[in-house]
Structure 1
Amino acid sequence: MIYTDTWLQDFSDYNNINNINESGHQEITIFKPLATKKIRLRLNNLYDDVPLKFTKLVIHREGRKSIDVHVDGKYTFELAPHSAKWTDWIDIDIKANDYLTIDIHSPNKTIHSLGSNLSESFTKIKNFTDRNDGFFFGVSAVQAQVEKKPIKIAFFGDSLTNQGFFSAPLSKELTYINRIVTANYGISGNRLLHPGSGKSQWVQSFGPAGVDRFDEMLNDFQPDIVIFMEGVNDLLHPGAGSPIDELPTSQELIDGINKLNQKCSLNNIVFVPMTVTPFRGNINNGIYAWNPKKEVIRQEFNKYIVRSFPYAVDLAPFVSDASQTRLAYEFDSGDHIHTSKCGGRKIAQFIERNLIDKGLVEVIKANRQITE
């Protein structure tokens, strides 16, 4: 029997958010790509200084009886500060491409260990309040027992990955093509070369530099493919909330991405980097974030990605307007850096075509000797 994560969302430290659980009740509905008869949940309290209490934790599917979830045989429990823990194994009959709802009751009102996802195609959050910002607490992964090893794809990046507008629909479509599971390791505000710094109220949640957290992702998820989309915050933040001396050269970005590629090569993992999308027009911390120098660095970095990595996805031209320095209207959420939900679906289709055209599924089967 094989144990594999079938749903995963990286958590971060949102120390500036209070009363996320004002109602004391939260539901997380997730898409389950693989059939299984046993699952367990990863409970997450990594960034809080107080225990996270669970007075009730159940799972259910539409039209089916709910199932109590236990930890060490108990159905009420608490999770120690700065810790994560797996629940006991749960007997449940889940079909492939089904939905599962996780129902959490907790007296903790303010919780800082949070995940976030704005797309509802793979993960849907209900907080029983007026909140609709996609933040959720408590459960950061679901693991299943399966008979055959799946192909595992990790999405690694910043808010463009984290929000789920392209990664969620792409994940869902890929599961229909083959036995594939995905994990979202996007962190809003994350940079390739530097940890969070500067004046933003969100700085604590930006997390460690991508080059520093990459190993943890490789060890925890053990992916076959990494779809990488990071670098825009390395250019956007300096001088617009972060110190200007943190602006990297194109060579420093190249050195950073090469480190990630080397780590993948050593572990027989296919590295799929995407070119850095444009951000001209964005205002960050009240400051116009773009300038010609940053644009030159972006263009030089993108040229290197396209010519250096066989599975690179040249996303930037696809989402740019005629100037190649701004997001095209059909992709722009309005802040000139993040994509819209509709734009995200188009990006997902674009990436999917690239992955299929490059024969990545067959490459992974050959590398890992995965058989149907």
Structure 2
Amino acid sequence: MSPAWTASWTQAVTDVGVAGLELRDVTVRITVEAGVGGERLRAGLSNRFGTTPLHVGRAAVRVDGRAAPMRFGGRSAVDVPAGEDLVCDPVDLAVVAGAEVEVDLYLPGPWRYATANVSTATWHPSAPGDHAGSDDFPGRATPELTLPDGAEMELPAPVLRDVEVLRDVPTPVVVCLGDSITAAGWPERTARRLRDRQVAVVNRGIAGNRLRLDGAGPFGPVFGASGRSRFDRDVLATAGRTHVVVALGVNDLGHPGTMAPEDQLPTAEQLVRALDGIGARARDAGLSVLTATVTPFDGAEGFDRERELRRAEVNEWIRGLGSGVVDFDAALRSGPGAIALDPRFDSGDHLHPGDAGLDRMADVAAEVLGRSV
């Protein structure tokens, strides 16, 4: 069998132009963890939500301290047109699972920070100038965004959409389609648990994402297109994809009346139809489908008894699917019959799992995937 490109790390990108940041004469270093290894690598860049071309003056990639230039059609510089993605030429650096991969992009600018997404990647801008591939990177603090409630968050890593590796031996690639709970990193933690089996578990989570409808409110563009409408580009376009885990629905229930109009609250039947539709599309494309139960959110903003009844009805349908179920609800709630996150797993907002909760999700996902891949 000839070598094939395989997704090792991914993110789903959204429109983050609300940050109002401009990048000029700066090198950004984006650090990710390789999920699986290969003989060569390549990186995918995205300017999907930019309004002007993204000019990359020079780029380099480093793997565990070994550096090599990135080229684009043999050139060291490239313009990524507004609204488009681009993949660099293959880079002759071998990668092992768990390796730290650093992608350096020198952006002469000006470029409006527009395409990014909350993910497990970390990034830092440099002091002014071209520092691509530098052993002594002059990193600066990651810029922050002030949220409507006054809280601050680090801006997510720009431009980088995926890192792929070239492999002689095929490996399963599990694409995780989800919201902020997925973006927080249970797929990467799952990949570590399956590392000995060489299984890629890659992340296509978007904070605030919904299953049926696009994001609404001031942060609607950041919350992204609905899971079902981005399915082709974020799942089917993932290199080597063999499986998909669909972990969406809690924002469909929690956002109406808070971040979205009240009349967008779906019935349980509407959520089931949407999940069933995604599953059918995935199977038609040759993927194995796993569906995650909708996680508890009692005590979080947007919760009420009627929404809980709808969540329970959706989860009952999901559990009826049989072996292709990842039961995050049962894993995270405080006990049989409970409707809230176990305090041990709660980040504090009664919606998002903390580190212990993400580890618990990874344990459950790894167990199910271990029987499926």
Q: What TM-score, normalized to structure 1?
A: 0.86
The answer for the alignment partner of 2:266 in structure 1 is: 248
2:288 counterpart of 1:270: yes
SS in 1 for 2:320: helix
The answer for the alignment partner of 1:351 in structure 2 is: 365
The answer for the alignment partner of 2:131 in structure 1 is: none
**Which runs of no fewer than 5 residues in structure 2 stay unpaired?**
126-139, 144-152
CA distance in 1, matches of 2:311, 2:213: 16
The answer for the alignment partner of 1:364 in structure 2 is: none
Higher helix share: 1
- Are 2:177 and 2:235, in contact at CA under 8 Å, matched by a contact in 1? no
CA distance in 2, matches of 1:23, 1:167: 34
Q: Which amino acid aligns with 1:81?
A: A
CA distance in 1, matches of 2:103, 2:37: 17
The answer for the alignment partner of 2:310 in structure 1 is: 297
The answer for the alignment partner of 1:126 in structure 2 is: 124
The answer for the alignment partner of 2:348 in structure 1 is: 334
The answer for the alignment partner of 2:328 in structure 1 is: 315
- Return the match for 1:145 from 166, 174, 178: 166
CA distance in 1, matches of 2:171, 2:142: 38
- Superposition RMSD in Å: 2.1
- Are 1:24 and 1:108, in contact at CA under 8 Å, matched by a contact in 2? no
Q: 1:297-342: CA deviations, max 9, x gaps?
A: 0011111111124221222122123562221211111221111123
SS in 1 for 2:294: coil
Q: Which amino acid aligns with 1:6?
A: S
- Are 2:14 and 2:117, in contact at CA under 8 Å, matched by a contact in 1? yes
SS in 1 for 2:112: coil
Alpha-carbon shift at residue 345 of structure 1 (Å): 1.3
Q: Which amino acid aligns with 1:57?
A: A
CA distance in 1, matches of 2:338, 2:22: 39
- Return the match for 1:324 from 332, 335, 338: 338
CA distance in 2, matches of 1:5, 1:219: 12
Mapping of residues 95-114 of structure 1, within 5 Å: 95-106=96-107, 107-108=109-110, 110-114=112-116
- Are 1:22 and 1:129, in contact at CA under 8 Å, matched by a contact in 2? no
Alpha-carbon shift at residue 273 of structure 1 (Å): 0.9
The answer for the alignment partner of 2:253 in structure 1 is: 235
SS in 1 for 2:93: strand
Structure-2 change in CA distance of 1:101 and 1:130 (3 Å)? closer
CA distance in 1, matches of 2:84, 2:212: 26
The answer for the alignment partner of 1:168 in structure 2 is: 188
**Which runs of no fewer than 5 residues in structure 1 stay unpaired?**
284-288, 362-372
The answer for the alignment partner of 1:135 in structure 2 is: 156
SS in 2 for 1:208: coil
Alpha-carbon shift at residue 69 of structure 1 (Å): 1.1
Alpha-carbon shift at residue 18 of structure 1 (Å): 2.4
- Return the match for 1:43 from 42, 45, 64: 45
- Are 2:228 and 2:278, in contact at CA under 8 Å, matched by a contact in 1? yes
The answer for the alignment partner of 1:366 in structure 2 is: none
Alpha-carbon shift at residue 38 of structure 1 (Å): 2.3
- Are 2:22 and 2:110, in contact at CA under 8 Å, matched by a contact in 1? no
The answer for the alignment partner of 1:57 in structure 2 is: 59
2:221 counterpart of 1:219: no
CA distance in 2, matches of 1:27, 1:341: 25
- Are 1:18 and 1:109, in contact at CA under 8 Å, matched by a contact in 2? no
Stretch moving more, 10-19 or 35-44: 35-44
Stretch moving more, 321-330 or 309-318: 321-330
- Are 2:29 and 2:123, in contact at CA under 8 Å, matched by a contact in 1? yes
CA distance in 2, matches of 1:94, 1:320: 38
SS in 1 for 2:154: coil
- Are 1:282 and 1:336, in contact at CA under 8 Å, matched by a contact in 2? yes
Q: Which amino acid aligns with 1:70?
A: R
Structure-2 change in CA distance of 1:50 and 1:73 (3 Å)? same
Q: 1:59-81: CA deviations, max 9, x gaps?
A: 123343x2111112222232111
Alpha-carbon shift at residue 130 of structure 1 (Å): 4.5
CA distance in 2, matches of 1:226, 1:24: 37
- Are 2:235 and 2:244, in contact at CA under 8 Å, matched by a contact in 1? no
Q: 1:39-72: CA deviations, max 9, x gaps?
A: 22111100010121222311123343x2111112
CA distance in 1, matches of 2:24, 2:354: 28
The alignment-based identity, stated in percent, is 23
Structure-2 change in CA distance of 1:90 and 1:63 (3 Å)? closer
Mapping of residues 70-89 of structure 1, within 5 Å: 70-89=71-90
2:372 counterpart of 1:360: yes
Alpha-carbon shift at residue 195 of structure 1 (Å): 1.2
Q: Which amino acid aligns with 1:190?
A: N
